[in-house]
Structure 1
Amino acid sequence: MGLFDSIRKIFAAPEPGADPAPAAAPPANRKPAFDYDDQRVPTGARDKIRTILSSLAEVEGMMDREQVQAVSRTEIELMRDEHLPKLVKSYIDIPSAHRAEIFRKTGKSASFILEESLGTMQARIDEIARNLAQHDLDAFSSNAAFISRRYSDNDPFR
């Protein structure tokens, strides 16, 4: 297919009777890649996963209120859509009979490493949230200082 054929195809009207492409579901309706409550995931890890998902939603809300660098937004989306599901799925995919091999190689159980990795992910999310909150704290402090100066009894211009 030549260049002009490709361009023509991009701008061509849909064929009569053809169904238009379905609209993408909004992000709020996105369902997880798989069930994080899978019984093969240790209870402690499931609790951490719920906390991570909640924290990610909170950070996304904070990002929606402010102008945030695309890099930070992309990092949060990758955590939610790729890194977290891949980590948990890779744990689930280890046959239970072979989990002892991980302990022999690392001195840590697979479930310990999973929870440790989830803790590392949560720490990064917390750091991003702190950075976003700092902007809010700075704005509040600035506004409070303005009000104090503007409406103080010591204001010489009142």
Structure 2
Amino acid sequence: MLAGEARRLIGQHLPRLVDSYLDLPASARVPTSESSERFTESLGIVAKELDELLDQCCRDRHDGFETHHRFIETRYRDDDSFGEG
């Protein structure tokens, strides 16, 4: 799910945003124009979303690690049969 969302954002949505901005007349793309300000704002939104996706990915991996840790701990910590046979 996260990989798909990242692919869409990076591979589709961001390029479409850039292309649509570049399709504007040069006069609409001057640094102080409303279009440039909106473009900058949109890039900030994209950056925030990428940060959130990365955070979620890290949390998911950490949660997976914690699940494995708890399994090993409950399975082997005080298991008297460990080492027998």
Assess same fold via TM > 0.5: yes
TM-fit CA distance, 1:97? 2.1
The residue number in structure 1 matching 2:15 is 85
The residue number in structure 2 matching 1:111 is 36
The TM-score with structure 2 as length reference comes to 0.62
What is the CA–CA distance in structure 2 between the aligned matches of 1:78 and 1:92, rounded to whole Å? Answer: 20
Query: Pairwise CA RMSD of aligned residues?
Result: 3.1
- Note the alpha carbon deviations across 1:65-118, whole angstroms, 9 max, x for none: xxxx3xx43322222222111111111221122447x94xxxxx3222212111
Question: What code does the residue aligned with 1:125 have?
Answer: L
What is the CA–CA distance in structure 1 between the aligned matches of 2:66 and 2:28, rounded to whole Å? Answer: 55
TM-fit CA distance, 1:125? 1.9
Question: What code does the residue aligned with 1:146 have?
Answer: E
Does 2:56 correspond to 1:131?
yes
Give the paired residue count: 77
* Cα 1:139–1:112 shift into 2, 3 Å: same
The TM-score with structure 1 as length reference comes to 0.38
Q: Larger Rg: 1 or 2?
A: 1
* Cα 1:116–1:134 shift into 2, 3 Å: same
The residue number in structure 1 matching 2:73 is 146
Q: Return the structure number with greater helix share.
A: 2
Structure 2: unaligned runs, 5 residues or longer: none
* Cα 1:136–1:117 shift into 2, 3 Å: same
Note if contact 2:28-2:36 (Cα within 8 Å) is conserved in structure 1.
no
Q: How many percent identity over aligned positions?
A: 29
